[in-house]
Structure 1
Amino acid sequence: MPAKRILITGAAGFLGSHLCDRFIREGYHVIAMDNLITGDLKNIEHLFKLPEFEFYNHDVSTYIHIAGHLDYILHFASPASPIDYLKIPIQTLKVGALGTHNCLGLAKAKQARILVASTSEVYGDPLVHPQTEEYWGNVNPVGPRGVYDEAKRFMESITRAYYTFHGVETRIVRIFNTYGPRMRLNDGRALPAFIGQALRGEDLTVFGDGSQTRSFCYVDDLVDGIYRLLMSDYSMPVNIGNPNEISLKDFAEEVLKLTGSSVKITYKPLPVDDPKQRRPDITKAREILGWEPKIDRAEGLKRTYDYFRSLPEEEWSKQPKEFTAKK
């Protein structure tokens, strides 16, 4: 029996590359696609020698053509860090809108099941805590983060439309803050920013007074949740994340303790529309998917720090060109 075939967009990115690994291990033929605007071939080069893996350098916002049958599509193509989507706002909107439309059209033509990667950013700066899937969010559509937030909200809407109007088998994952190996050190998000600063001997930058909270999920746990959702019969959005909430000030302290760094924490003004609280309600994931995170933050942080320390010094000595809101 031939292997099932899956298309993964954004495959050279942080999450996309880990998904490629998972589906290769599960025995799939993986078709990876990425235009490398934020992805890096180093994340997937270990797969190039495999006959069950193929890669296409392509922008899914233009069109998508795949020969032969497809069983599944994972649409993960999108800038995901504030530094990226503030630098390339039009491309961010296009991949969320046109890219999603193209993926859904391909799913319809191939009669494939598609899972799209939404995010906790659809909740904006939430007025409900923790965030359940029924919460509609508090998003500023014309603020600096709107290009990312609204792209993901449109993604969910058009995905549901293809489900209800065309009968396409769709799945929607709402991803909360995730971390692990292959993150880019200087992409502006809290964890790689803190570790990069500690490795360079710089003070750790916390925005606002550090009381804003995040909930960090290790990448292996997230990938398992995505896999279970894809294989489930549930078509509405599902939160996948770790409900263990921590303030960014306390998180910075954890990173300092882990790295053994003697630098200090410095504070800068809170960026526009930066969410004050972020914690997933994962009741649906537990009940529908039998999923919950297994790797605690101490273990996940150690694995991630060890990965960053293993990189050549020139990798973590680079500083970001600009430093903005933490996702």
Structure 2
Amino acid sequence: MKKKRVLVTGGAGFLGSHLCERLLKLGNYVICTDNLFTGSEDNIRHLFHHPHFEFLCHDVISPLSVECDQIYNLACPASPRWYQKDPVYTMKTSFLGALNVLELARTTGARVLQASTSEVYGDPDCSPQPESYRGCVSAVGPRACYDEGKRAAETLFFDYRRQYGLDIKVIRIFNTYGPRMSMDDGRVVSNFIVQALKGEDITIYGSGAQSRSFCYVDDLVAGMNALMNSPGDFTGPVNIGNPEEISIKELAETVIRLTGSQSRLAFKELPVDDPRQRRPDIALAKRELGWSPVVRLEEGLKLTIDYFKRLINC
């Protein structure tokens, strides 16, 4: 088989770096681009000497010209702490980034995958959330730069398919965790693990009754790759996530138990527009991709805890 040239935007981020690894193991030539706004060279440094890996420091809001067969568009700040830090830039990354990779796909004939998000469902009125659910999203709240940015990107992808016949795929990613999460990204899993390992209070916003479903990064990347290589008439959007639901309070208690920490729970006011529930309906992924997650939450948390232990030397 001819080796594919695969472009991964946002490839130095948490998800992107794991995807680059998997693509290389599958025998592809990988071109990783990232402006390092939230990504880090540390995530991909071990790939620098790989003969089929290339890193380009580039911001996806500017056009890029490279020869490629497939494009994974992962470039965008994904945690509230970072995407709310510069909301205008977040919107520009979502929309202009999508526009630029779609134009590149038009030029090269590449298949292009958009990494969308479960945040397009907003604070849902149903659980679990199927792809047919249109969402309950505030267009003017502090999370809108990300939520609406991703919704606009999905619209652009499907308009490019209708108008230009582009070969597109759209994945909606639910909460994902694992090694290489940043210590300071403000995501709940990394927050809880770091606080527990340092013996600090575990910060819970609201009562902790709100629920999430957490997917280990290896499972997520496998689902993303399965969608990219699925038949061309299946575009998605398709949910990729773990349907096992857990409350935030239960997650905190599990992290405390697994780390052997003496940390206590500290409750603070719930942020504006924070979803009450997040759980994927993955029936479509099972049927069309033959995909479902295999890593259980405690197993994945142990692997993630081990990573953070090495990172903070404890």
TM range (shorter): over 0.9
Match of 1:198 among 196, 199, 202: 196
Q: Distance in 1 between matches of 2:63 and 2:108?
A: 15
Q: Structure 1: which 5+ residue stretches go unaligned?
A: 317-327
Cα offset for 1:228? 0.4
One-letter identity of the residue aligned with 2:294: K
Aligned counterpart, 1:54: 54
Q: Distance in 1 between matches of 2:236 and 2:227?
A: 10
Aligned counterpart, 1:273: 273
Aligned counterpart, 1:160: 158
2:307 counterpart of 1:311: no
Q: Secondary structure at the match of 2:31?
A: strand
* Residues 217-256 of structure 1 aligned to structure 2 (within 5 Å): 217-233=215-231, 234-256=234-256
Residues 186, 196 of structure 1: 8 Å contact kept: no
Q: How big is each residue's C-alpha offset from its partner over 1:239-293, in whole Å with a ceiling of 9 and x where there is no partner?
A: 0000000000000000000110111101001100000000000000000000000
Aligned counterpart, 1:263: 263
Aligned counterpart, 1:283: 283
Q: Distance in 2 between matches of 1:98 and 1:200?
A: 40
Aligned counterpart, 1:28: 28
Percent of aligned pairs sharing the same letter: 54
Q: Secondary structure at the match of 1:311?
A: helix
Q: Distance in 2 between matches of 1:210 and 1:50?
A: 44
Aligned counterpart, 2:94: 96
Cα offset for 1:123? 0.2
Residues 172, 236 of structure 1: 8 Å contact kept: yes
Q: How big is each residue's C-alpha offset from its partner over 1:185-225, in whole Å with a ceiling of 9 and x where there is no partner?
A: 22111100001111221110111100000000000000000
One-letter identity of the residue aligned with 1:43: N
* Residues 140-219 of structure 1 aligned to structure 2 (within 5 Å): 140-219=138-217
Q: Distance in 1 between matches of 2:250 and 2:68?
A: 45
One-letter identity of the residue aligned with 2:279: R
Aligned counterpart, 2:116: 118
One-letter identity of the residue aligned with 1:160: F
Q: Distance in 1 between matches of 2:246 and 2:282?
A: 16
Q: Distance in 2 between matches of 1:111 and 1:154?
A: 23
Cα offset for 1:236? 2.3
2:85 counterpart of 1:84: no
2:3 counterpart of 1:3: yes
Q: How big is each residue's C-alpha offset from its partner over 1:134-154, in whole Å with a ceiling of 9 and x where there is no partner?
A: 000000011000000001000
Q: Structure 2: which 5+ residue stretches go unaligned?
A: none
Match of 2:70 among 64, 72, 87: 72
* Residues 297-308 of structure 1 aligned to structure 2 (within 5 Å): 297-308=297-308
| TM-score, length basis structure 2 | 0.98
Q: Distance in 1 between matches of 2:80 and 2:294?
A: 28
Q: Distance in 1 between matches of 2:226 and 2:198?
A: 39
CA RMSD, 1 decimal: 1.0
